[in-house]
Amino acid sequence: MSSSITNPDLHTSRTGFPADCEHFANVLADGVLFLDRDWRITYANDAARTISRILPEHLNGPSHWDLYPVTVGTEQERIYRRSMNERISLDHEFYYAPFNTWIALRTYPIPSGIAVHYRDITRLKEAESHRDLTARRLHQVFETTTDAIVVLDADYRLTFLNRRAQELLAPFGEVIGMTLFNAFPGVNYQDSPYIATYRRAMEDRVAGYFEAFYPEPLNVWFAVEARPTENDGGGIIIFFRDITEQRAAAEELRQRIAETERQAAEITAVYGTAPIGLALFDTTDFRYLRLNDRQAAFFGLRPEQIVGRTLTEMAPIPGLRELFEQVRDGKPVINYPLEGELISHPGEHRYWTVNYFPVYAADGSVQAISAASLEVTAQKKAESALLQSEKLAAVGRLASSISHEINNPLESITNLLYLISASDDLTPQVREYVDIAQGEIARVSQIATQTLRFHRQAAQSTFVNAEQLFAPVLNLFRGRLINSGIALETNFASATQVLCLENEIRQVLSNLVANAIDAMRVGGRLRLRAHDSHDPRTGHHGLRITVADTGHGMSPATQARIFEPFFTTKDLNGTGLGLWISSEILQRHQGCLSVRSSQHPLHHGTVFSLFLPLGVEKDPTN
């Protein structure tokens, strides 16, 4: 009939019950226990353990009916089940033969089941059973009891008040011989609920019970019991028991229970909304006992789809089980960098910072393992991307330096070729070679100039058309296009100029052309087009540029994620930032970037479409 609550997420004491509430319950002389809806005992204070002879293994284990089979089919079982089902408080007294003990109890419905407040009344029952042995003994009992006892005859005259009743009900005068109604004229007997109990006991010979608050000058809560006497003349005996402290204690206990439930709800809310993954595991197979939404999101599932599954089933990461075995032995794992793949996302390498702690039971054993996990995959990828960005920046600075330095010898070579071409004694074949050399030197010079322009970002927006935007990009990729066997088709049907940061837009076009070339490893067609258009979302007029390839195309899942930072299909050859940055650049220009792709065996390829407004609404540099 007891046990401490063992949910480690809801309580702070070693027993699992809030320390202040547990202390209060344990100082009570009466027993207090909780039963859940499966009739398992989830808590018992010290008095309950003593009265009901509860052992540690009885807690959260067998049902109440398994522990106390004698109670099955008795009035006690009916009272318990009625209180559980109808959510009402009920009183009951019963004799438990195996312990030779009389118990008086009251049930209270609580959210998790019912609470039972009870006491051992064996001695009281023994006193009652011997009350009629002698009048002297009866008188002694009446005079020494703390209950107020009043005897009324059949005419409602007061024939006896014990010492306590005299103190409480007649402190200023003698009331013996007076009727109840005359002795206490201030009471409205017509509407009083307790006078009905007296009449029922007197006239119907049916015992009754009620609890009532008696105001000034008493200010006392009484538990009042009216019993018919056994003599032929009729009459009733009324017992007034001062339950003011008991009521206050019960109310305080009720409030503490309500506060415990409130705190549990708050903890549950915090647990569910925490920005890190939280979980609780058993210590046998390391199965999920509980987890919040953030932890379940690691797997792309709901918490209820994961509870009961083992750690290694969900996260087959080498060394992870050994970490949990270490925690099971009482050694916590703090700020451990964990990396690997989850069963729900095979092939996707991820990173976490984890903390694992043992959860101790009242006997000091480890009963569960708590886990807090913070995914740092994005940070790891950001660090890698930053490193790659620094490398690319260094390469860019080196390329800029080389481009700058190469202009001087190119100028000398150009001048020398000019002087050679001006000579009159050149043969036609030599003059042809000189002309070819001059053309190639001019192309090298143009590439060097465009490389410098890519490195030196413009600070102000300028007006530029599609052909001007594409020209340097195509010069840079012309060699790759030829070597990859890719046919280039251009159709710039618009000469409209848009206001933009031209080097940023060239960066976008460079990303799109590079991706198209990567998608056509065995050759294909690259189509670049531009025409006047408008944005249906905003109604702005501007320039529409499309970059289309006949590559292998993208799946719908890939298309849905290509604009996410760090998402890449190129493994170590890509950072996953190119298209994300491109999309950001277009947004700064009040434009947009969209994609269509197909993996059809015959009609495969990808089309990127970017829209640039004319630029009169907002300059992207402002």
The rounded distance, in Å, linking the Cα atoms of 143 and 164 is: 7
**d(Cα 584, Cα 592) in Å, to the nearest integer?**
9
pLDDT confidence bin for 16, thresholds 50/70/90:
very low
Provide, rounded to the nearest whole percent, the portion of the chain with pLDDT above 70.
82
Grouping H, G, I as helix, E, B as strand and the rest as coil, residue 573 is helix
- Residue 2 in any domain: the answer is no
Residues 117 and 149 in one domain: no
Q: Which two tokens stand for residue 498?
A: 């848009």
Same domain, 579 and 480: yes
152 DSSP β-pair partners = 158, 236
**Residues 448, 468 within the same domain:** no
> Which residue among 456, 487, 519 closes a domain?
456
Across the range 124-144, mean pLDDT stands at 69
Mark whether 34 and 150 lie in a shared domain.
Answer: no
SS3 label, residue 49: helix
Q: Does a structural domain hold residue 249?
A: no
Instruction: Mean pLDDT check: name the lowest of 148-152, 498-502, 616-620.
Output: 616-620
Residue 344, in any domain of the structure: yes
Cα separation, 234 vs 576, whole angstroms: 97
The predicted structure's pLDDT at residue 286:
94
Verify that 528 and 616 share a domain, yes or no: yes
Quick one: 432 and 363 in the same domain?
no
Q: Residue 553: what residue type?
A: G
pLDDT-based confidence at residue 210 (cuts at 50, 70, 90): confident
- The answer as to whether 268 is a domain residue is no
Do 464 and 588 sit in the same domain of this protein? Answer: yes
Neighbouring CB atoms inside 10 A of 373's CB total 21
Structure-model confidence comparison of residues 40 and 442, the more confident one = 40
On the CB side of 239, CA atoms within 13 Å amount to 17
- Residue 12's pLDDT is 39
- State yes or no: pLDDT of 288 exceeds 60: yes
Residue 253 falls inside a structural domain: no
Q: Last residue of some domain: 339, 374, 409?
A: 374
588 found inside a domain: yes
Dihedral sign of CA atoms 60, 61, 64, 68 in order: negative
Please report, for the domain that includes residue 330, its CATH number.
3.30.450.20
Residues 478 and 441 in one domain: no
Q: What is the mean pLDDT of residues 113-142?
A: 77
Percent of the chain predicted with pLDDT > 90: 31
**261 burial type by CB count under 10 A (0-12 exposed, 13-18 middle, 19+ buried):** middle
This prediction's pTM: 0.38
Band of pLDDT at residue 7, cut at 50, 70 and 90? very low
pLDDT at position 352 over 60 = yes
List pLDDT tens digits, range 508-561: 998 899 889 988 988 899 999 999 998 888 888 899 999 999 998 989 888 888
Structure tokens belonging to residue 573: 């050859």
* CATH code for the domain in which residue 450 is found: 1.10.287
Looking at the structure, do residues 447 and 473 belong to the same domain, yes or no?
Answer: no
CA 48 to CA 374: how far, in whole Å?
A: 43
Q: Could you tell me the pLDDT band of residue 478, with boundaries at 50, 70 and 90?
A: confident
**173 or 590, which is more confident:** 590
Q: CB under 8 Å, gap of 24 or more: what pairs does 49-53 form? A: 49/2, 51/101, 51/103, 51/118, 51/119, 51/120, 52/1, 52/2, 53/99
Band of pLDDT at residue 573, cut at 50, 70 and 90: low
Locate 454 and state its tokens: 């890519």
pLDDT tens digits for 294-306? Answer: 899 889 899 999 9
**396, 511: one domain:** no
* Count of domains forming the chain: 5
Domain of 496, CATH number, reads 3.30.565.10
Characterize the bridge pairing of strands 486-492 and 524-534. Answer: parallel
Q: Which domain holds residue 55?
A: 19-124
Residues 481 and 619 in one domain: yes
d(C-alpha 144, C-alpha 164), whole Å? 8
Predicted pLDDT of residue 337: 93
Residue 568 domain-assigned (yes or no)? yes
* Strand-by-strand arrangement of the 220-228 sheet: 158-161, 148-152, 236-242, 220-228, 208-214
Last residue of a domain, one of 219, 242, 265: 242
The beta-strand segments (E) located in 292-403 are 333-340, 350-360, 366-375
pLDDT in the model for residue 401: 65
CB 54 within 8 A of CB 48: yes
Does 14 fall in a domain? Answer: no
The residue among 388 and 160 whose pLDDT is bigger is 160
pLDDT grade for 2, boundaries at 50, 70 and 90 = very low
Query: Is residue 597 within 8 Å of residue 551, measured between CB atoms?
Result: no
Q: Domain check: are 475 and 574 in the same one?
A: yes
